[in-house]
Amino acid sequence: MHNQLENRTQHRHSQNQPNNHTPNRQPTTGIEYFFKGWSLAFSPGIKRFVFLPLIANIVIMSALFYWFFTTITGMVDWGLSYVPSWLQWLGYIIVFIVILTLVILFCYFFSTVANIIAAPFNGLLAEQVEAQLTGMPAVDTSWISIIKDLPRIFGREFQKLFNYLLWAIPILLTYFIPVIGQSVTPVVWFLFTAWQINIQYADYAFDNHKITFHRMRELLNQHKADNLTFGILVGFFTMVPVLNLIIMPIAVCGATAMWVDRYRHQALFNSGK
């Protein structure tokens, strides 16, 4: 009798174990979480919450890029007017390099601006994704509650911006150091940017639960490689025309899925929730 009870207990326990061969298994890498964001963003129940940040991103990014390319075209024409005709070929090469550098820089800058403006919508999207993944009801998402939360939401966005500038300015200054600026700094800047992108999108789920910015960074450091990979992928798609218009809600969904699987229990347990 004792053996039969033990066997039944083991059988029930094995049934409750996650099956890594099923389609619904938990992602294990930053790459998988990135692509899970795509599937979540267009899943039933979530699509309508993607609409608002998507529209906000399209309007903001389109306006900024229109301004950027209108301005840069005038600057290029002005610069080439001072280049001798026999050096026009070299002028075009220099212009191409300068424009490419500026496009990469402004892609990240424009994304930051778009994220600040769309922060309330992204926070709402993160709440709904978390509710779907956990099976728990979402918190109050009325317009009145969102409006009341705006000071805190925008305060958090400026905290992220301040943290970004605190590190970005010293790193950019190292470009002027011979040898190091041309060899080490580009690699450091690339990794730094990927990390900041991950922080940007991971923070919505953390902030919804009032987890401090410092505590969030501590938890993200536990899976630094996966978070860097996630940030690299989001950053790459941010630079791809058309795709950069839809990447924001996808990144929010993917980062929220990682929050649910890896950080939610630890963060809420330690914060006393």
- Walking along the chain (273 residues) 10 residues at a time, the average pLDDT comes out as 41 39 68 95 87 78 76 69 65 65 66 79 91 82 71 88 90 86 85 92 93 94 95 88 83 96 88 51
**Within-domain flag for 84:** no
**Within-domain flag for 109:** no
Which of 118, 124, 69 lies closest to 246, judged by CA? 118
**Domain with 168 in it:** 28-58+118-270
pLDDT the model gives residue 117:
79
Residue 272 backbone class (left: φ over 0; alpha: ψ -120 to 50; beta: rest): left
pLDDT the model gives residue 7:
45
Distance of CA 216 to the CA centre of its chain: 14
pLDDT the model gives residue 132:
92
Q: What values do phi and psi take at 241, rounded to 5?
A: -55, 145
Residue 165 to residues 173, 187, 192, 239, Cα–Cα distance (Å): 12, 18, 11, 21
**Within-domain flag for 137:** yes
User: Rounded distance, CA 157 to CA 22, Å?
Assistant: 38
CB 233 within 8 A of CB 96: no
User: Rounded distance, CA 115 to CA 197, Å?
Assistant: 11
**Within-domain flag for 13:** no
Q: Give the count of domains, the chain.
A: 1
List of residues 6+ apart from 106 with CB closer than 8 A: 64, 68
**Within-domain flag for 19:** no
User: Rounded distance, CA 219 to CA 235, Å?
Assistant: 21
CB 189 within 8 A of CB 172: yes
User: Rounded distance, CA 265 to CA 92, Å?
Assistant: 55
pLDDT the model gives residue 108:
66
3-state secondary structure at position 272: coil
**Within-domain flag for 47:** yes
CB 125 within 8 A of CB 53: yes
Let me know if 23 is exposed, middle or buried by CB neighbors in 10 A (0-12, 13-18, 19+).
Answer: exposed
Structure tokens at 69: 């390319």
User: Rounded distance, CA 248 to CA 6, Å?
Assistant: 50
Q: Report CA torsion sign: 233, 47, 220, 165.
A: positive
**Within-domain flag for 234:** yes
Q: Where are the alpha helices (DSSP H) in the chain?
A: 2-16, 30-41, 47-80, 88-117, 119-134, 143-173, 180-208, 213-220, 224-238, 243-258, 264-270
**Within-domain flag for 16:** no
User: Rounded distance, CA 63 to CA 8, Å?
Assistant: 64
User: Rounded distance, CA 69 to CA 87, Å?
Assistant: 24
Q: What is the pTM of this model?
A: 0.74
